[in-house]
């Protein structure tokens, strides 16, 4: 391919990315047609941005604008190009059919996908949520319940991926039960609760066998404060024989007595471990995490897991931004923007504001 064709192709690809990021769906569709007309588009896109992903992104953009028929058409093109996802891409199409008022077609397509992928827990999750959004709590409940039964009888259902599916199915199933005026504490919910409690790793010290270290680091605050790094932090000496979780509970109660909001969490690390979110590492060695709602074990466990995952995401985002600044200084903001997905303008502002520091 000559340089002129390569340059034109590169410009089209960048314009398409920009259009999709800016949610300019009509411009994106126009650019895709131009790309398709390029004589070597298939070969060039195969390893960089395959057609199934391009059409999948276009379908998502159409659905955001509630242009469901166009979303359905784009999704089918993505599937024809080889799209693989969980749940099956047809589940998205069934959801958009529901949103378009085409209930019979949606019912049939969801049933077809279930026949083809009967053990995919996320199909039941997504189908249940689609019917719940429609206001059909009874059908939503049936999907959530069947999904839970499917996962609970899987021999490898202690897998982290499947555990997350159980957590979500339990939560949304309870919402449907309440919407129908029924108690969420039925036999299936209790089975799921027992499953989660057996497989949920407890923070060290919950059982009393792990004492607090000689000294430890503490971060306190609401989830938003902890994620933004604005929570209170300090170091405290440990007490021999006192479980780390009990120490964290005592600190939290003292904060509540001092007027801190009820949504306050207390996270505790060994003082010898990195201080999150310093440059050294993410919060993967928390000894204890204590917050509101310990009297509701399943909800509490989901909340605790979500908070730690949010902290990990924030740390990794900081790493991405730091590495992007390093790349921009070495090879230019345009290259850094292409690799990182961040805006060139934002990168330029970032590197002009001061020296790059590891997050």
pLDDT digits (tens, 9 = 90+) for 142-154: 999 999 999 988 8
Instruction: Name the burial class of residue 235, with classes exposed (0-12), middle (13-18) and buried (19+) by CB atoms within 10 angstroms of its CB.
Output: exposed
End-to-end CA distance of the chain: 42
Q: At what angle do helices 160-179 and 137-152 cross, to 10 degrees?
A: 150
Q: Estimate to the nearest angstrom the gap between the alpha carbon of 115 and the chain centroid.
A: 27
Residues in the chain, overall count:
359
Contact 169, 121 (CB under 8 A): yes
Domain boundaries, the chain: 120-199, 215-309, 315-352
Hey, which residues does 232 pair with through a beta bridge? 220
Mean pLDDT of the chain: 78
The residue among 216 and 272 whose pLDDT is bigger is 216
Segment (H or E) for 267? strand 265-270
Segment (H or E) for 183? none
The residue among 81 and 359 whose pLDDT is bigger is 81
Phi-psi map region of 5: left, alpha, beta (phi>0 left; psi -120 to 50 alpha): alpha
Radius of gyration of the chain (CA): 25
Determine the average pLDDT of the residues in 182-197.
82
- For the stretch 28-76, pLDDT in tens is 888 878 777 766 666 656 555 677 888 888 898 888 888 999 999 999 9
Cα–Cα distance list, 199 to 153, 224, 260, 290 (Å): 14, 27, 32, 19
Tell me which residue of 302, 248, 326, 314 sits closest to 276, measured CA to CA.
314
- Assessment of whether the complete model's pTM goes beyond 0.85: no
Residue 159 has pLDDT above 70, yes or no: no
Burial 266-305 (b: 16+ CB within 10 A, else e): bbbbbeebbebbeeeebbeebbbbbbbeeeeebbbbbbbb
- For the stretch 67-91, pLDDT in tens is 999 999 999 999 998 888 889 999 9
Instruction: Name the burial class of residue 324, with classes exposed (0-12), middle (13-18) and buried (19+) by CB atoms within 10 angstroms of its CB.
Output: buried
pLDDT at position 30: 85
| CATH number assigned to the domain with residue range 120-199, chosen from the 4 options 1.25.40, 3.30.410, 1.10.10, 1.10.3470 | 1.25.40
DSSP tag of 212:
-
Residue 98 has pLDDT above 80, yes or no: yes
Residue 104 has pLDDT above 60, yes or no: yes
Q: How far apart, in whole angstroms, are the C-alpha atoms of residue 232 and residue 255?
A: 11
Q: How far apart, in whole angstroms, are the C-alpha atoms of residue 83 and residue 79?
A: 5
């Amino acid at each position: 391919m000559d340089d002129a064709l390569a340059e034109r192709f590169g410009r089209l690809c960048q314009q398409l990315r920009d259009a999709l990021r800016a949610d300019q769906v009509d411009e994106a569709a126009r650019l895709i047609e131009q790309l398709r007309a390029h004589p070597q588009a298939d070969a060039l896109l195969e390893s960089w941005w395959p057609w199934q992903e391009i059409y999948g992104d276009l379908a998502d953009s159409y659905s955001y604008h509630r242009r469901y028929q166009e979303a359905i058409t784009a999704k089918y093109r993505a599937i024809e190009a080889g799209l693989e996802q969980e749940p099956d891409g047809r589940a998205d199409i069934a959801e958009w059919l529901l949103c378009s008022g085409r209930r019979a077609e949606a019912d049939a397509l969801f049933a077809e996908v279930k026949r083809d992928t009967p053990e995919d827990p996320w199909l039941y999750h997504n189908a249940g949520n689609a019917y719940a959004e429609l206001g059909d709590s009874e059908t939503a409940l049936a999907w959530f319940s069947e999904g839970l039964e499917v996962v609970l009888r899987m021999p490898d259902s202690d897998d982290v991926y499947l555990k997350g599916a159980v957590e979500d199915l339990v939560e949304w199933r309870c919402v449907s039960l309440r919407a129908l005026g029924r108690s969420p504490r039925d036999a299936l919910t209790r089975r799921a609760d027992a499953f989660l409690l057996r497989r949920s790793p407890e923070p060290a010290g919950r059982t009393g066998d792990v004492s607090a270290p000689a000294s430890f680091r503490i971060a306190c605050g609401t989830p938003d404060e902890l994620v933004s790094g604005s929570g209170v932090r300090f170091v405290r000496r440990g007490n021999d024989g006192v479980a780390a979780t009990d120490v964290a509970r005592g600190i939290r109660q003292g904060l509540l007595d001092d007027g801190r909001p009820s949504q306050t969490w207390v996270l505790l690390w060994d003082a010898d471990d990195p201080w999150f979110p310093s440059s050294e590492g993410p919060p993967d060695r928390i000894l204890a995490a204590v917050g509101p709602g310990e009297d509701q074990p399943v909800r509490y466990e989901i909340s605790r897991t979500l908070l730690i995952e949010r902290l990990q995401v924030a740390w990794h985002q900081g790493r991405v931004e730091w590495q992007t600044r390093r790349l921009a200084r070495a090879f230019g903001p345009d290259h850094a923007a292409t690799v990182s997905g961040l805006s060139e303008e934002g990168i330029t502002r970032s590197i002009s504001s001061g020296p790059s520091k590891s997050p």
